[in-house]
Structure 1
Amino acid sequence: MILDLTGRVALVTGSGQGIGRAIAQLFAARGAKVLLATRSEASGAETLELIRAAGGSAELQVLDLGTRAAANQAVAAALRAFGGLDLLIHNAAVFPMQPLAQLSDDILETTLAVNLKSCFWLTQAALPALCRAEHPRIVITSSVTGPRTAIPGLAHYAASKAGVNGFIRAAALELAAQRITVNGVEPGLIATQAMANLGDSPALAGSIPLKRLGTPQDIAHAMLFLASEQAGYITGQTLVVDGGALLPENAQLV
């Protein structure tokens, strides 16, 4: 089954590196016109060059998705660059390690703003354009951390991602009348720069039934399916992509 996005416009947040870059590259390779929204101009420009070098269509908007104004700016940039919006892909996230006892107001607010509040802000800004789209989709990168598992030092991140899953279900119900589907992907342990904070990669991989860490491309392909026409009857769901890490009752069974 070839999942084709030809002619569709996708806004991908957090697309400067890791999972977001993989999503943007895959969507562009399948024909989408991609607006890259990322806070780092250098990494965003690198993603842009990779897509264009492969023959894809993309534009870059540098911003930090911690405010409603930035979310509005991201959507406006997509409309300005490509004249419409079909796919809203919210992948940007922050997860600074901070013990609960020392968690500052600034870290808590930034985590909730970027990870969770931006779901609301982006959706509100994108709604007029999505209502005009033929196959409108909202797909959000959630996490197994929060909805299903916990990691010490990431209570704020876990709470934000549990909130994301609640948003996905409620928004899916509310937006169904406009034919907009809302879904998410819950990555497990994915080999990205940010995952280095969690410890030794070989040891982590050994605890996974498939005996490897996930790749950003593993998440991108799940996103591609949920953004495709073929997923038109799926809404309010999250897809766990974790190599089977959640299956054993404890790590000694792997």
Structure 2
Amino acid sequence: MFSSFHGKTVVVTGGSKGIGKGIAQVFGKYGANVAIVARNLANAEAAAAEIESSGGRAKAFSADVSDRKEVESMVKEVVKEYDGIDILCANAGIFPNASIEVMTDEDWNQVMDTNIKSTFLTVQACLPHLKKAEYGRIILTSSITGPVVGYAGWTHYAASKAAQLGYMRSAALEMAKDNITINAVLPGNILTEGLEGMGEDYLRDMTTAIPLKKLGQVEDIGYAALFFASKEASFITGQLLIVDGGQTVPEDLSASEV
């Protein structure tokens, strides 16, 4: 049983939908003060209202997490509301499809800004408050795509997710002296609005490729983040946890058949 999260404040970027919403709901279920951050304030407010209707504590905040001024303003608002920050879940991310031949500078920069620059900016803005906490926790939402496998059309996305892990390992060394840990969760195919948008053929093919023969749920990533954020995980930093139903284990599809 984890120690209580009551009184702990967690910032979840990209927390209004998909994996971020699942992370926020799990922390809300376990008693944390949840700051849901999204570009669209109305969506963040709706996600916060769901947590509160279930007995949790949550508040919505609007910010483009690739913009330094907006990130710094958001962090100030969170601290004003909850008197500190204990946990950062840097989850915001996008995965548009573009082949190398047609990818533009704008395509590349948009993904890098949203997926990796935002990690740098939110960590930097939250760091002074994490230092003041009883213990600070940072959890990054990376991906199996990039660090472990590849997917055609997602070279920019794969590069950004691999970059998060390089950032994490060096950041872990800098932050250790302040009792702050930083780790990453690498989701596989998790059933979200974005994944559903890939179409029925994609969902069917991915389900077939997963040894557990099912897609993951957003709560699966939420519980992995909860573990990394716990007091019990105090001796774990600079590490990654793959949550993919075994998708990256077999050499090919036939290897998982018995």
Q: Which residue of 2 aligns with 1:208?
A: 210
Structure 2: runs of 5 or more not aligned: none
Aligned to 1:233: 235
Structure 1: any 5+ residue segments left out of the alignment?
none
Structure 2 counterpart SS, 1:101: coil
Does the 8 Å CA contact 2:65/2:121 hold for their aligned counterparts? no
Question: RMSD value over aligned CA atoms?
Answer: 1.2
Alignment partner, residue 131 of structure 2: 131
| Aligned-partner SS, 1:88 | strand
The Cα of 1:79 is off from its aligned counterpart by: 0.6
Aligned length: 254
- Give the Cα separation in 1 of the matches to 2:155 and 2:207: 23
> 1:52 and 2:52 equivalent?
yes
Identity %: 40
Residue aligned with 1:65, SS = coil
Q: Is 2:185 the counterpart of 1:185?
A: yes
Which deviates more from structure 2 when the two are superposed, residues 72-81 or residues 153-162?
A: 72-81
1:248 aligns to 2:246 (yes or no): no
Q: CA separation in 1, counterparts of 2:42 and 2:60?
A: 11
Tell me, yes or no, if the aligned pair for 2:99 and 2:154 is still in contact at 8 Å.
Answer: yes
2:158 maps to 1:158:
yes
* 2-structure distance, mates of 1:205, 1:192: 14
How much has 1:197 moved relative to structure 2? 4.5
Write the distance in 1 (CA, Å) between the matches of 2:82 and 2:187: 30
Instruction: Indicate the SS of the match to 1:102.
Output: coil
Structure 1 pair 3–223 and aligned structure 2 pair: CA distance change class (3 A): farther
Using structure 2 for the length normalisation, give the TM-score. Answer: 0.95
Could you tell me how far apart the structure 1 residues matched to 2:162 and 2:254 are? 27
Shift of 1:198: 4.0
In structure 2, relative to structure 1, the CA distance for the partners of 1:115 and 1:38 (3 Å cut) is same
Shift of 1:17: 0.7
Distance 1:74 1:95 in 2: 24
Confirm or deny: 8 A CA contact 1:41 1:62 kept in the other structure.
yes
Could you tell me how far apart the structure 2 residues matched to 1:253 and 1:233 are? 35
Q: Deviations over 1:80-123 (max 9, x none)?
A: 11110000111010111111111111121111111101111111
Instruction: State the TM-score, normalized to the length of structure 1.
Output: 0.97
Q: Could you tell which deviates more after superposition, 164-173 or 57-66?
A: 57-66
Written as runs of structure 1 = structure 2, the 5 A alignment for 1:157-176 is 157-176=157-176
Match of 1:33 in 2: 33
